[in-house]
Amino acid sequence: MAELTLLEAVNKALAYEMAADQDVILLGEDIGVNGGVFRATDGLQDRFGEDRVVDTPLAESLIAGMTIGLAAQGLKPVAEIQFMGFIYPTIDQILNHAARLRTRTRGRISCPMVLRAPFGGGIHAPEHHSESTEAMFAHIPGLRVVIPSSPARAYGLLLAAIRDPDPVIFLEPKRVYRMLKQDIDDSGEALPLDVCFTVRQGTDITLVSWGAMIHETLQAADQLEAEGIDCEVIDVATIKPLDVETILESVQRTGRCVIIHEAARTAGFGAEIAANLAEFGLMNLFAPVGRVTGFDTVMPLHLLEKFYMPSTENICATVRQTMEYS
């Protein structure tokens, strides 16, 4: 057991899988000598060599294309994109090739690759360094989209993503990189993909979130408990494919739901969850589904960032409004 940050947990998971499987290789901008922009791959090139931890040119479309080609030939590449704001040049390769390879070849070729990227705001970075466009990737058939919320989740879910035979977009909430530490047993035990995690039991209302916003959601649940509101909190973790059943079962017990994410409101992934609740859980709802989200604008710079990011106070206010609905 060791107390690790989320960043250290990512490093441990990569090291474990590289030691266990010679087919796992890493590639990305500055991930070798420098250990990555956030140092997620620090020390791995020294340990595993330049042939398995590869520094690439500053060309995201090239990184994606190389990763797909390596995966198609039986390797298990894990590519890093420095920030989610730089991920958009990869979409051509990801949408047209990685996500379609299994279907295009009628199952003869799969694409066991992972594309890692830090995402989200909260560190006072410029606009291209604060993106939360996970819903864009969730809309692409053939992809898994995984978002850890804690060191333990990052370790177990990254192991599972590397071992998965199909492409995984693995988005790491950079605000949580060094926020907290958790005891992690570096045993190589993966967590299941495609399932939500219930991180707090409750009876009055279901709060659904993922990534960094889980922490504000849990803080809000603590505050609301003092007011007599018992919140259940669900960490979605894998937003594609979505574990609808866990959310529906929770709402069946509580009768109310608020969804929290920092991405822009319009067509954010919270809308997909709300649509599923309307389609399959409407008769269990005592109130309309609430959403606490970012705004339909580019993340503002520095001083205004805190006004863009959903806060504990925003969550509490929406929960109270949902509880008072009649």
Q: Give me the active site residues, please.
A: 129
Specify whether the CB–CB gap between 257 and 234 falls below 8 A: no
Q: Can you tell me which residue has the tokens 């409004």?
A: 321
d(CA 10, CA 208): 24
d(CA 315, CA 220): 6
d(CA 48, CA 323): 54
- Beta-carbon contacts of residue 229 (< 8 Å; ≥ 6 apart): 204, 205, 319, 320, 323
Longest dimension (CA), the chain: 63
Cis peptide before 241 (omega within 30 of 0): yes
- Beta-carbon contacts of residue 164 (< 8 Å; ≥ 6 apart): 112, 144, 193
Residue 274: what are its φ and ψ, rounded to 5°?
-60, -40
Of 137, 129, 136, 116, residue with least CA distance to 67? 116
